[in-house]
Amino acid sequence: MKKTKKLNSPLLVLVILSVILLIKLGVFRTLVYGEVSWLRLVAIDFPVFMLLPVLLFVVLRRISPLVALIYNLFVSALLVSIVWYERYFQTVPSYFDLQQGDQAGSVIETVSLLYAPLDFLFFADIVVYIALFVLYWKRPLAMKNRKKISVAAIVLVVLSVATTVVALQKPILDMTLFAKEQGFVQTQLVQAAQQNSASAQMHLISDEELAKLKGNEFVPYTEHDRFGIAKDRHLFIIQVESLQNFAINQSIDGQELTPNLNELLGDSLYFDRMFQQIGAGNTSDAEWLLHMSLLTRGLDPTVNYLNGSPLPSLVNMLNERDYYTTTYHADKLEYWNRAELYPSLGFDYAYSSDEIPNEDMIGLWPSDRTMFEFAEGEIQEQIASGKKIYANLMTVTSHTPFEVREQDKYLELPEEYVDTYTGNYLQSIRYADEAVGEFIDFLKAEGIYEDSLIVVNGDHSGLHGRPMTKEDNELMADLLGHTYSLKDRFLLPFIVAAPGALESEVNSNFGGQVDMMPTIMNLMGIEPQAPMVGHNMLQYENNLLAVRYYLPGGSYITGDHMYLGENARYPERYYDFETMERIEPEAEIIEAQQERALKILNHSDALLSNFLDDDEETETGEES
């Protein structure tokens, strides 16, 4: 009898799986990197993803279709997660970002804004795996053509190891560009290897050298403009979720977006050119920059690598001056490792969802109004004790996807803005402003407004990524009177009110989030006890900022220009910072500024290494 070929040949099954995986990776590269590059796909991406099922055949000599089905679901879910992450944050995630399943609840509402019908194609091949499972679930595919499969396994191992070794020799300047050229899995391995290296290079520089790198002449701290004019005042810092600078003094149909903050400007210094500098830690990075004046790790949240030692923070300096220090956030302390961060920063007490009532819910959290009302009760008791107080209050209602209830919508938006991402953002910011205004009214009613230094700042941008459709960008252009640009996205407000000591003033010195702490310290008459990377924005006009993670590696910003390095989708770009018009790159100027920016990054990394676990120190000089 003639022998018939059966479909349960492992070699034939592997060929089928290989074709499916190649197609899936091709779609993935198109969506994330904007191109396929079949050579890189076949030589770099494909081997590491195909290696596991092939090795299972070789080692076990058989494999269950159920195992193949589970592996397929894992790969599909991983690729879709990366696609969604890149659409929102416009960079590929690190292995840390992908393992934050316990924090998914804080961003789950955004998923509906990120998926596209094409994404379901990643799971279309599940039909093939189910068919294999139904046909062969009682008899796993047995080893045949062992020699051919063993050869395939050896080739895949060699390619996977070789491409990883090559990638390990290169620095990660930009996560997405590196993943495009070296492979996503290889990028994660390189990142882990670099972060676990204990060979951090120390590149400390003096305060005088640091000022010079930024284009300034160093001035002793006690000689700075308005040093100590808010000494011994209560300090209230209000960090508003996703608040971007364009919202300040902005109106739509005659309605102010931030009427209460605009009123506060009458007693305030308003710094209108403060640039976002957070990394993968997002809001927790904003807290770090505010309280430490050191740059973040960039690719990973800084707070996850602290060694637990006390930090030379703004909080601890206030503790030494007999302040009672607290922080308020209507979320779990476990998110962003705040349970470790806050004791190191020195807060006397951290109020979280454990104490803040789970009431008046908007989205996933208690409303900002609930948080402020709870804080007001605590502050009354603290004031009664006779101590000076520092309260760090963080809002959350204006978190993406910016949905508030009908009764909390204070704006009557034009029809074209209703139920759009942009319109929802404007409503949520208007709500946050109302909650902040009510808290300021509380300070006035308690008679402590005139005795306080009140700071309001945004933690990071809100309008960005895939949720910003063509329609949303057109709405923003209509609102602003110009094209919505990277400058509009990354500039955050920094408002410092000292009633009776400060009058309405706009300061347009260019700065970043790292400069907030030195500026606050100057007004409070506090001299630094440890080196800082930021500087007092009242004293220094020039600045040079390097931004990790949210801009391509090698990027920097001055008060005059913005240089963006090459990334996976775009070549290098150079902008006039005032007009945001493209200008021709000047190679000599760019190279000189990049060298200065890298020295500042290395200096910050060297300072940061003192507070990280020994086996988690950053290998400085490798990424910018």
Q: Name the residue range of residue 107's domain.
A: 10-161
Does the pLDDT value for residue 199 go beyond 50?
no
| CATH number for the domain harbouring residue 390 | 3.40.720.10
Please list, in sequence order, all residues whose beta carbon lies within 8 angstroms of the beta carbon of residue 48, skipping any fewer than 6 positions away.
160, 163, 183, 185, 186
- Indicate if 237 and 97 belong to the same structural domain: no
For 73-82, 99-108, 583-592, which range has the lowest pLDDT when averaged over its residues?
99-108
The more confidently predicted of residues 585 and 228 is 228
List the binding residues.
241, 283, 399, 459-460
CA dist 447 and 437 (Å) reads 16
Q: Is 249 exposed, middle or buried (0-12, 13-18, 19+ CB in 10 A)?
A: middle
DSSP string, 193-257: HHHT---PPP----HHHHHHHTT-----GGGSTTTTTTTT-EEEEEEETT--GGGTT-EETTEES
Please list, in sequence order, all residues whose beta carbon lies within 8 angstroms of the beta carbon of residue 445, skipping any fewer than 6 positions away.
none
pLDDT score at 120: 83
Domain end residue (candidates: 136, 161, 186):
161
* Token pair in block for residue 558: 């001055």
Instruction: Please check whether residue 150 lies inside any domain of the structure.
Output: yes
- Residue-wise pLDDT for 326-357, tens only, equals 999 999 888 888 999 999 999 999 999 999 99
**8 Å CB contact between 264 and 421:** no
pLDDT score at 110: 62
- Residue-wise pLDDT for 354-379, tens only, equals 999 999 999 889 999 999 999 999 99
3-class state of residue 314 by DSSP = helix
| 283 has catalytic annotation | yes
Does the pLDDT value for residue 621 go beyond 80?
no
The more confidently predicted of residues 488 and 195 is 488
Instruction: Please check whether residue 587 lies inside any domain of the structure.
Output: no
- Indicate if 154 and 263 belong to the same structural domain: no
- Indicate if 123 and 241 belong to the same structural domain: no
Would you give the distance in Å from CA 590 to the centre of its chain? Answer: 25
* Token pair in block for residue 346: 């020195």
- Indicate if 250 and 353 belong to the same structural domain: yes
Taking residues 137-162, report their average pLDDT. 74
Instruction: Please check whether residue 1 lies inside any domain of the structure.
Output: no
- Note if the pTM is more than 0.75: yes
- Indicate if 129 and 261 belong to the same structural domain: no
Containing 412, the helix (H) or strand (E) segment is: none
Number of domains making up the chain: 2
- Indicate if 141 and 233 belong to the same structural domain: no
- Residue-wise pLDDT for 576-598, tens only, equals 999 999 999 888 999 999 999 99
pLDDT score at 146: 66
Which residues are paired to 401 by β-bridges? none
Domain end residue (candidates: 535, 558, 582):
535
pLDDT score at 7: 45
Taking residues 233-243, report their average pLDDT. 98
Containing 594, the helix (H) or strand (E) segment is: helix 587-608
List the binding residues for substrate.
399
Q: Is 386 left (phi over 0), alpha (psi -120 to 50) or beta?
A: left
pLDDT score at 4: 44
pLDDT score at 596: 95
CA dist 85 and 93 (Å) reads 7
Taking residues 33-44, report their average pLDDT. 88
- Indicate if 420 and 523 belong to the same structural domain: yes
Instruction: Please check whether residue 360 lies inside any domain of the structure.
Output: yes
For tokens 């068919």, the residue is 131
- Indicate if 267 and 148 belong to the same structural domain: no
Does the pLDDT value for residue 8 go beyond 50?
no
For 67-71, 289-293, 316-320, which range has the lowest pLDDT when averaged over its residues?
67-71
C-alpha count within 13 angstroms, C-beta hemisphere, residue 101? 3
**8 Å CB contact between 66 and 140:** no
Q: Is 27 exposed, middle or buried (0-12, 13-18, 19+ CB in 10 A)?
A: middle
- Indicate if 48 and 143 belong to the same structural domain: yes
Instruction: Please check whether residue 392 lies inside any domain of the structure.
Output: yes
* Token pair in block for residue 590: 């760019």
Instruction: Please check whether residue 564 lies inside any domain of the structure.
Output: no
* Degrees, nearest 5: CA angle 277-600-201: 115
Peptide bond just before 414 cis, omega within 30 deg = no
Taking residues 127-154, report their average pLDDT. 69
3-class state of residue 552 by DSSP = coil
Containing 351, the helix (H) or strand (E) segment is: strand 349-351
Would you give the distance in Å from CA 398 to the centre of its chain? Answer: 16
Pairing of strands 268-275, 491-497: antiparallel
Does the pLDDT value for residue 112 go beyond 70?
no
Looking at mean pLDDT, say which of 163-172, 271-280, 585-594 comes out highest. Answer: 271-280
* Token pair in block for residue 150: 């063993």
- Indicate if 301 and 392 belong to the same structural domain: yes
Pairing of strands 361-362, 365-366: antiparallel
- Indicate if 145 and 252 belong to the same structural domain: no
Instruction: Please check whether residue 208 lies inside any domain of the structure.
Output: no
List the binding residues for Mn(2+).
241, 283, 459-460
DSSP string, 24-59: HHHHHHHHHHS---HHHIIIIIHHHHHHHHHHHHHH
- Calculate the alpha carbon distances from 480 to 179, 265, 559, 560, 566 in Å: 35, 20, 21, 21, 28
CA dist 507 and 413 (Å) reads 31
* Degrees, nearest 5: CA angle 221-225-226: 100
Instruction: Please check whether residue 242 lies inside any domain of the structure.
Output: yes
Pairing of strands 62-63, 361-362: unpaired
- Indicate if 233 and 157 belong to the same structural domain: no
Q: How sure is the predictor about 68, in pLDDT bands with cuts at 50, 70 and 90? A: confident
- Residue-wise pLDDT for 443-483, tens only, equals 999 999 999 999 999 999 999 988 899 999 999 999 999 99
The single residue of 283, 325, 370, 395 carrying the catalytic annotation is 283
Q: How sure is the predictor about 139, in pLDDT bands with cuts at 50, 70 and 90? A: low
The more confidently predicted of residues 44 and 98 is 44
**8 Å CB contact between 119 and 83:** yes
Domain end residue (candidates: 126, 161, 196):
161
